[in-house]
Amino acid sequence: MVDNTKTVRFGILGCANIARKVARAIALAPNATLCAVASRSKEKAERFAAENGFPASVRVYGSYDQVLEDPGVDAVYVPLPTSLHVRWAVMAAGRKKHVLVEKPAALDAAELDRILAAVESNGVQFMDGSMWLHHPRTAHIQHLCCVPRSANCIGPIHFIHSTSTMAATPEFLASDIRVKPELDGLGALGDLAWYCIGASLWAKGYQLPITVTALPDFTRNSAGVILSITAFLLWDQPNQTLATIHCSFLSHTSMDLAICGSDGSVHLRDFIIPYQETSASFDLTFGAKFVDLHIGWNVKPEEVHVVNELPQEALMVQEFSRLVAGIRDCGSQPSTKWPEISRKTQLVVDAVNKSLDLGCKPVSL
């Protein structure tokens, strides 16, 4: 039986498909419990609760306000369309609810700053739903990228390449919220490029690039929403690094990440969602050279396996809940790490958008 005095009590605002995954993650996380779910109609919320096997103790509401008014809810998960994030995240923070919001965090940095101002002034925790950051594989690779002068370091990073693509169905391209300008106006730039931009920033220790440039191969739908986008990110200090990202609703599924340093490289084919829930791998190569006559390589990549006890989404909920419990029970201050990561990602998303508007000219940050 769950001891609710020692766990963080969640409410979910909305019944989007991703909410099913996070509800399961809340159930799996040892320090979290689901207490409430709401939709714009109680019938839809009841159907959602029944379809997902929620226990009878989960309170079902017909409006989001009722979750925010519930004194038995510590934190809310917000899987609503991006255009609604600022309204409901600000309202949640005003009711002293901690905020876990689905990515992209907002439509632009101005909206995100309104959210972050609200959570800061109310002393609550904020985090966006970039689940892959919480997988132990991510920490393992970060050690390889960020430990200078180490035998296990790939050296200064010179090139990063990432993709996030999916072959959307005709139904998706016609009616999904991610192609509707009034709901998720960023399209593939928000839904998919958030990961690739985030991965590039993560590999560079969240140093912002000096310039961001969209390439002219982008595709928009008839409503102007981005369906496919390619962009360059450039850093010049402490060493020049170029990152390329390609994100599309029009290509076969890919989630590639390659990080190339002066002494080695790391390659993943599933960096956003691992092929398996219980373990993940990556290819690590050090000291690669061509053999005589260039008919082969002197080394093969080492396949490194990382085991995880919980799925990455449950690890995300666990970390968020740990921070919330520290604030609630121990008087700790909210962590600034996660809001800062979201804001830097949002700034680069905005820069890609601005570059598109300028005819694919470089935008300085």
**Which runs of consecutive H residues, i.e. helices, occur in 52-159?**
64-69, 85-94, 109-122, 136-146
Taking only the tens of pLDDT, the chain with its 365 residues reads 444 556 999 999 999 999 999 999 999 999 999 999 999 999 999 999 999 999 999 999 999 999 999 999 999 999 999 999 999 999 999 999 999 999 999 999 999 999 999 999 999 999 999 999 999 999 999 989 865 556 679 989 999 999 999 999 999 999 999 999 999 999 999 999 999 999 999 999 999 999 999 999 999 999 999 999 999 999 998 789 999 999 999 999 999 999 999 999 999 999 999 999 999 999 999 999 999 999 999 999 999 999 999 999 999 999 999 999 999 999 999 999 999 999 999 999 999 999 999 999 999 99
The span from the CA of 222 to the CA of 266, in Å, is 39
pLDDT at 145: 86
Strand pairing class (75-78; 8-13) = parallel
Structure tokens at 37: 């779910």
- pTM of the entire structure? 0.96
pLDDT at 177: 95
pLDDT at 1: 41
DSSP letter for 297, please: B
- Full set of structural domains in the chain with CATH: 8-128+313-335 (3.40.50.720), 133-310+346-364 (3.30.360.10)
| CA gyration radius, the chain | 21
Structure tokens at 55: 């226990």
Q: Which class for 142: exposed (0-12), middle (13-18), buried (19 or more C-beta within 10 A)?
A: middle
pLDDT at 147: 56
pLDDT at 170: 97
Helix, strand or coil, per DSSP, at residue 309: coil
Helix, strand or coil, per DSSP, at residue 340: helix
Angle at 267 between CA 197 and CA 254, to 5 degrees: 60
Nearest to 349 by CA among 142, 209, 147: 209
CB 197 within 8 A of CB 164: no
